[in-house]
Amino acid sequence: MKAREADQLYRLAEVARLLRLPPYRLRELSAAGKFPPAAVVIPGGGHMRCRWTASQLAEVVEAWANPLAAGNR
């Protein structure tokens, strides 16, 4: 039986650094529906409460890298 591993979680600042976009731009893209909402929201976490999973980020990178994706036309 293969053990399942938990996804790595990233805060907004880390996501911005990985995608090389400023955090305010990620918030704008999220409001426009072009960036997924946070997968995990930690109650009482303040400005660092939102976390994205590594699999979410991989999907975003794949979609943005594909020139034939619906959002890139």
Say if 1 falls within a structural domain.
no
Residue 55: give its domain's CATH number: 1.10.1660
The domain total for the chain is 1
Closest CA to 37 of 23, 48, 26: 26
Residues 25/70, Cβ–Cβ less than 8 Å = no
Say if 42 falls within a structural domain.
yes
Say if 3 falls within a structural domain.
no
Residues of the chain with pLDDT under 50: 73
What per-residue confidence (pLDDT) applies to 73? Answer: 46
Say if 73 falls within a structural domain.
no
What per-residue confidence (pLDDT) applies to 64? Answer: 85
pLDDT in tens, 22-38: 999 999 999 998 899 99
Say if 36 falls within a structural domain.
yes
